[in-house]
Structure 1
Amino acid sequence: MANHAKAAEYNNTSISSLKGADRVRKRPAVIFGSDGLEGCEHSVFEILSNSIDEAREGYGDRIAVTRHRDGSITVADRGRGIPLDFNPNEKRYNWELVFCELYAGGKYRNNSGENYEFSLGLNGLGSCATQYSSEYMDVTVYRDDYRFDLHFEKGENSGGLKKEKCHYPHTGSIIKWRPDLEVFTDIDIPLEYYQTTLRKQAVVNAGLTFELHDEYSGETFEYCYQNGIVDYIKEIGGEKSFTEVQFYATQTKGRDREDKPEYKVKLEIAFCFNNEINLLEYYHNSSFLEYGGAPDKAVKAALVYEIDKCLRNRGKYTKDEAKVTFADVQDSLILVTNSFSTETSYENQTKKSITNKFIQEAMTEFLKEQLEIYFIENKAESEKILEQVLVNKRSRETAEKTRINIKKKLAGNVDITSRVKKFVDCRTKDLNRRELYIVEGDSALGACKLGRDAEFQAIIPVRGKILNCLKADYDSIFKNDIIVDLLKVLGCGVEIKSKHNKDLNTFDLANLRWNKIIICTDADVDGFQIRTLILTMLYTLVPTLIQEGKVYIAESPLYEIAVKDKSYFAYSDKEKVDILAKLRGKYTIQRSKGLGENEPEMMWQTTMNPETRRLIKVMPADIEETQAVFELLLGENLSGRKSFIEENGYRYLDMVDVS
């Protein structure tokens, strides 16, 4: 029988509970959703929320936030000032209730009514939880002709409440604290968090000004939207929106269930349609709902219902066409909702989603009513919306067909030699040695095949001029056998740049079967064009290969200069002159033929032998400049291309093949 170490006893004395500050300090994720940076950021938002609630009730129109160099934060408002003095009802000091008692505060209903009709800091956790999780916290309050001061260290008060008579320009609360690294794994909150948070709060609290002072950079930022979400949507859409911003607001009352209490709801919805930019943001009691919840469900249901109804009534669908989805609407939609309620069901303390059934129902019905009126009274704008949504829908459906087509064509692990016509593989499996030559036509295939080192050099011929991938849509591209064959041989998948084709991004550099991809075409106008089209295809479908330096161009000689039993090869007119200057005696000069007419020995020496060939690595220093050149020479900008040729064409006259 095995011996076992004696286990610790588990009895009535084994159960314990965390008390005081340890309830937060040892389990911060329970309150803040995380013990990392995200949780630390949420602790900041809890303090900010209290100042916002004051301002929304009409007390103060400016909130200042300072990001200090040591990682501490100050939030200063012009509200009524947090009550900190003795509370005869609770028979305790209010500062203890606010900063040392979870689930206490001025936002719970009581017999005398409500201090805050629509509150961001609902659960009475924020001030206390943030204080508990801080290395230190200093609180200064101006109210009732007094200045009140408190100091906390690691969740414990030091020195009690200090109170002195004071004259001040305005009431308000100033809280400075430093999140504790013993509580959070990271307290280095980036400037971007403050900028994003304060900007969003300015959006949903019309007319409220937020100041941000950053001691790291010495910069100061200010955010204010006088018309709230309407101004925000105009800013996001800019000149690219093709409808005016619509704004709807209402107030109502209801309950989530018959046995639940009735509560007030205030709704604001603003939107416009835009061809290039889309945005969906939901806010409730000023809290940004990252996951939406009730408002998200309401918006999707109302928009799809009304747009589908309008499309059917106006005969926009083709016979047996499937109805629109919200994805088709969202592609061109900028929409923000800003709702408030006196009762809110958050999924958790981090307030990233709400679940109120009545809010969802009320918003759905209200938005349906307003959209119905809007579509009837604004015929021209609604026609633009319907047409654009149909374009989005049909593009999505085409993309889905293309996705299935690509996956069928590029899928599987069958031996490539049996799937790609005229592809000639090499023997080695060593990826550091394998080279793929992309050559021009069957005759070049034959010459390269005889001239190569079959151990590490493979060949695939391109038959004719391939499709210009900058001008073609993805559906046409992946119906092109030459392009599909090249992608199969490369083995690394494709990179797609389209909002409808995100799931087509099958690219994985680790699956690339080659160390070098070498484009090898004739040194004439047709060869240069084929080379450019192959480069365009690689740039469009697998740009990472160019950025990683995997793509090369093999230079072909222009001239063969023979002296007795020796040959010299010139790759340019200048080289020809230089070679001739060094030669003595008789020689013959022959203009190079096409690759297909080269002898195997010459092919090996000039184009394929790593010791003697010349390769140009295609490695754009500036990807934006490269893109501009490709667009100019092979895109839709005809007038730009004409101007470029007029200004630069003379430089290439010696390359023009005219007789």
Structure 2
Amino acid sequence: MSNNYGNDSIRSLTDRESVRMRVAVYAGSSDKEGAFTTVREIVGNSIDEFKAGYGNEIIVEYLKDGSIQVTDYGRGCPVDWNEAEGKYNYELIFLQLNAGGKYSNDNYTFSIGLNGQGASLSILSSKIAFIEVKRDGYKYNLEFEKGELIGELNKEKINGDYQTGTKIRWLPDTDVFLSVDFPIDWFTDYLHKQAIVNKGLKIKFIDHFHDKTYEYYYENGIIDYIQNLNNQKNFTNIIYLETEAIGRDREDKNDYRSKYEIAFCFNNEVNLLESYHNSSFLKHGGSPHEAIKAAFVYAIDKLIKQNNGYNKNEKKITFDDIRDSLVIVTNTYSTETSYQNQTKFAITNKFIQDFMREYLKEQLEIYFIENPIDAEKIMNQVLINKRSREKAEKTRLDIKKKLQGHVNNITNRIEGFINCRSKDNTKTELYLVEGKSALGSTKQGRDAEFQAIYALRGKILNCLKADYDKIFKNDIIVDLIKILGCGVEVKSKYNKNLNTFDLNNLRWSKIIITTDQDVDGWHIRTLLLTLIYRLIPTLIEKEKVFIAESPLYEIVHNDISYFAYSDNEKNQILSKLGNNVIIQRSKGLGENTAEMMWETTMNPKTRKLIKVTKDDVIKTQTYFDMFLGDDLQSRKEYIENNLYKYIEKGLEE
């Protein structure tokens, strides 16, 4: 590793280099989720044109070469010379970050895009891109390859009448993103949501892979959407609220405009909490969700107290009690928006949260006064939900306590087990690692908040060949079952103290098998999968079991480490880096530093996990029985017929 770190070592990246080398910073991730962000950004720009009053139809096409094409009939994106900036507008919009027409509210009152990165992110991260713009009596064409303009701006005069608009076609680059193969339902789900919150906008999606066309249109927006969801099962009418406000997030900040659409009703068979902001679906909510929770709990709690609905010493309702029967959709807009990041899945505007909370409190109180019959129905149903939840929770805790026995003190009693701090089994992860040698690096490299470790003490039993007597006398297996907490799915006189199986008692959201990338490691991995397959197969069916891929090589170039998980990946990395590289072969998990373990194997943002599924039960059972059971003849025949494949593979590597 070079020690030549001096003044000449510091450099800056161009916008193109920054996007292509660090795309996750702008797209949220480098996987297909990040690549799909480019779709949301381009479609979002077309929707902004519609909201500004230009064009009422958008056409999105997913072409057979994997490229996406978006056509709108807005004003047409400005691409010609910009005298004030001394550049062409296409350079500012498509090739430069933090440039665009949405920094001034003169162009767009309420827009999805505010950061000036969406269009440039899409083009700079693309393999190829084509742009056609019609405006000002001209048709403009641009062509890009790997984020660079090919040729020059082509400008052609249009004679006669024509429709203004912008057409953009681009192919996300696999040199930038790990995957660009989008499921069709990603398009249909996203575009459907855009039609919901942009009433009067017609969105057409053409799936060229399956030769299908989808059309979305909601004349009355979120009201029609909720009406369709209700399926006539709502026990209150749909309430629609609409208002505007001006305010600021902090005293030293400027005022901004905001607009609010809220529609809700109560339904015993359907529940929904969805929020949108400037047409962007807020997957994680943020300010609107916090306002809804606070307002509904306040107003309904007050209603219950006014009507003496609580029993003596009964606890106050929670939002979960309300949410069980609530269908609510909010559609907000603002001229200033604080998104959590470029993916726009949540907003953090304090003014929007505070105003919306107080506005909803007031409107709910008025609604309850003016509609006493509905108010009584809502109050009674929320109390039923609350008492049902509390009874179910008490029953669950009683059963869990009875079944788990002494598992609460498991940390102090099981050798090789390092617990995590969190008790939230929707977030916690259990790493099963190979031996004490791997315990040090994984313990130091993990996130102790939600990642626990169990270091196996040698190879475990082959659970297909061993009988239950032997299995349930094995300390390693028994300890692992206790750590999992959910019990086993087999019944015998030998495991009566190991709980009846209950998936709700599983203490982990993920069970991650982590072994060395060698023959011994693969054998231990297979034995663990066999154990789970025989004793707790539901964990595989419910996709709770994963295999962590650990790197075979660390490749160092100019003080930057690259990790390869196969010989093929190593060769690909080397072909891009050129000379002056240092290659280090991983000798096992115990040899890795804590930093390397975190970056390559334990960090949810950068690790590679293989989900263990059970797509073909018969095939799975056949192979387990063949390789690890008593069917010696089938195993012998398989080896005789297939050994050459593995020998050749080994020679190639």
Is the TM value for this pair above 0.5? yes
Q: Which aligned pairs between 1:489-528 and structure 2 lie closer than 5 A?
A: 489=496, 491=498, 493-495=500-502
Q: Secondary structure at the match of 2:231?
A: helix
* Structure 2 CA distance for partners of 1:48 and 1:506, relative to 1, 3 Å: closer
CA distance in 1, matches of 2:195, 2:508: 38
Instruction: Check if 1:195 corresponds to 2:188.
Output: yes
Instruction: Check if 1:383 corresponds to 2:390.
Output: no
Q: 1:124 — aligned with what?
A: 116
Shift of residue 345, structure 1, vs aligned partner: 0.7
Instruction: Check if 1:61 corresponds to 2:56.
Output: yes
* Structure 2 CA distance for partners of 1:145 and 1:515, relative to 1, 3 Å: closer
Q: 2:222 — aligned with what?
A: 229
Q: Secondary structure at the match of 2:7?
A: coil
Shift of residue 271, structure 1, vs aligned partner: 1.1
CA distance in 2, matches of 1:503, 1:271: 36
* Structure 2 CA distance for partners of 1:488 and 1:311, relative to 1, 3 Å: farther
Instruction: Please tell me whether the aligned partners of residues 346 and 354 of structure 1 are also in contact (alpha carbons under 8 angstroms).
Output: yes
Amino acid at match of 2:382: V
1:376-422 Cα offsets, whole Å, 9 max, x none, are 111111211111111111111111211221022211379xxxxxxxx
CA distance in 2, matches of 1:380, 1:188: 52
Q: 2:150 — aligned with what?
A: 158
1:247-276 Cα offsets, whole Å, 9 max, x none, are 111001001111100000001111111112
CA distance in 2, matches of 1:489, 1:235: 50
1:338-370 Cα offsets, whole Å, 9 max, x none, are 100000111111111111110001100111111
Shift of residue 491, structure 1, vs aligned partner: 3.8
Q: Secondary structure at the match of 2:292?
A: helix
CA distance in 2, matches of 1:405, 1:511: 31
Q: 2:601 — aligned with what?
A: none
* Structure 2 CA distance for partners of 1:487 and 1:275, relative to 1, 3 Å: farther
Q: Secondary structure at the match of 1:170?
A: coil
TM-score between both structures, scaled by the size of structure 2: 0.65
**1:264 equivalent among 238, 250, 257:** 257
How many residues get paired?
Answer: 459
Q: 2:35 — aligned with what?
A: 40
Shift of residue 169, structure 1, vs aligned partner: 3.8
**1:71 equivalent among 58, 66, 85:** 66
* Structure 2 CA distance for partners of 1:334 and 1:487, relative to 1, 3 Å: farther
1:74-94 Cα offsets, whole Å, 9 max, x none, are 000010000111112222211
Shift of residue 488, structure 1, vs aligned partner: 7.5
Q: 1:535 — aligned with what?
A: none
TM-score between both structures, scaled by the size of structure 1: 0.64
Gaps of 5+ in 1: 415-428, 437-453, 458-483, 518-541, 549-619, 622-659
Q: 1:10 — aligned with what?
A: 5
Instruction: Check if 1:252 corresponds to 2:242.
Output: no
Q: 2:91 — aligned with what?
A: 96
**1:357 equivalent among 341, 347, 350:** 350
**2:387 equivalent among 394, 399, 404:** 394
Instruction: Please tell me whether the aligned partners of residues 35 and 185 of structure 1 are also in contact (alpha carbons under 8 angstroms).
Output: yes
Shift of residue 239, structure 1, vs aligned partner: 2.1
Instruction: Please tell me whether the aligned partners of residues 275 and 331 of structure 2 are also in contact (alpha carbons under 8 angstroms).
Output: yes
Amino acid at match of 1:199: H
**1:213 equivalent among 202, 206, 209:** 206
Q: Which aligned pairs between 1:531-542 and structure 2 lie closer than 5 A?
A: none
CA distance in 1, matches of 2:499, 2:228: 41
RMSD over aligned CA atoms reads 3.4
CA distance in 2, matches of 1:314, 1:51: 50
Q: Which aligned pairs between 1:482-493 and structure 2 lie closer than 5 A?
A: 489=496, 491=498, 493=500
Q: Secondary structure at the match of 2:252?
A: coil
Q: 1:451 — aligned with what?
A: none
1:443-465 Cα offsets, whole Å, 9 max, x none, are xxxxxxxxxxx9999xxxxxxxx
Q: 1:134 — aligned with what?
A: 126
1:100-139 Cα offsets, whole Å, 9 max, x none, are 1111111112xxx510000101111111111100011100
Q: Secondary structure at the match of 1:240?
A: coil
CA distance in 2, matches of 1:84, 1:75: 17
**1:86 equivalent among 81, 98, 102:** 81
1:524-575 Cα offsets, whole Å, 9 max, x none, are xxxxxxxxxxxxxxxxxx9969x99xxxxxxxxxxxxxxxxxxxxxxxxxxx
Q: Secondary structure at the match of 1:89?
A: coil
CA distance in 1, matches of 2:38, 2:349: 24
Q: Secondary structure at the match of 1:308?
A: helix
CA distance in 1, matches of 2:6, 2:307: 74
Instruction: Please tell me whether the aligned partners of residues 299 and 365 of structure 2 are also in contact (alpha carbons under 8 angstroms).
Output: yes
Instruction: Please tell me whether the aligned partners of residues 494 and 506 of structure 1 are also in contact (alpha carbons under 8 angstroms).
Output: no
Q: Secondary structure at the match of 1:322?
A: coil
**1:28 equivalent among 23, 27, 35:** 23
Amino acid at match of 1:173: T
Q: 2:339 — aligned with what?
A: 346
CA distance in 2, matches of 1:208, 1:487: 65
Q: Which has the larger radius of gyration?
A: 1
1:281-318 Cα offsets, whole Å, 9 max, x none, are 11111111111111111000000000000001011100
Q: Which aligned pairs between 1:305-344 and structure 2 lie closer than 5 A?
A: 305-344=298-337
Q: 1:273 — aligned with what?
A: 266
Q: Secondary structure at the match of 1:271?
A: strand
**1:186 equivalent among 179, 203, 219:** 179
Amino acid at match of 2:496: V
Q: Secondary structure at the match of 1:239?
A: coil
Q: 2:488 — aligned with what?
A: none
Instruction: Please tell me whether the aligned partners of residues 463 and 534 of structure 2 are also in contact (alpha carbons under 8 angstroms).
Output: no
> After the TM superposition, which parts of structure 1 deviate over 6 Å for at least 4 consecutive aligned residues?
433-436, 454-457, 484-488, 501-508, 510-517
CA distance in 2, matches of 1:78, 1:455: 72
* Structure 2 CA distance for partners of 1:194 and 1:390, relative to 1, 3 Å: same
Instruction: Please tell me whether the aligned partners of residues 267 and 337 of structure 1 are also in contact (alpha carbons under 8 angstroms).
Output: yes
Q: Secondary structure at the match of 1:259?
A: coil
Shift of residue 235, structure 1, vs aligned partner: 1.4
Shift of residue 236, structure 1, vs aligned partner: 1.6
Instruction: Check if 1:115 corresponds to 2:99.
Output: no
Shift of residue 504, structure 1, vs aligned partner: 9.6
Shift of residue 27, structure 1, vs aligned partner: 0.7
Amino acid at match of 1:154: K
Instruction: Please tell me whether the aligned partners of residues 211 and 222 of structure 1 are also in contact (alpha carbons under 8 angstroms).
Output: yes
* Structure 2 CA distance for partners of 1:217 and 1:394, relative to 1, 3 Å: same
Shift of residue 494, structure 1, vs aligned partner: 3.7
Q: Secondary structure at the match of 2:194?
A: helix
Q: Secondary structure at the match of 2:333?
A: strand
CA distance in 2, matches of 1:411, 1:243: 43
Gaps of 5+ in 2: 408-460, 473-490, 512-527, 543-616, 619-653
Shift of residue 493, structure 1, vs aligned partner: 3.8
Instruction: Please tell me whether the aligned partners of residues 131 and 142 of structure 2 are also in contact (alpha carbons under 8 angstroms).
Output: yes
Amino acid at match of 1:314: N
CA distance in 1, matches of 2:318, 2:493: 36
CA distance in 1, matches of 2:234, 2:245: 31
* Structure 2 CA distance for partners of 1:57 and 1:506, relative to 1, 3 Å: closer
* Structure 2 CA distance for partners of 1:455 and 1:106, relative to 1, 3 Å: closer
Shift of residue 8, structure 1, vs aligned partner: 2.3
CA distance in 2, matches of 1:46, 1:147: 23
CA distance in 1, matches of 2:115, 2:234: 40
Q: Which aligned pairs between 1:609-628 and structure 2 lie closer than 5 A?
A: none
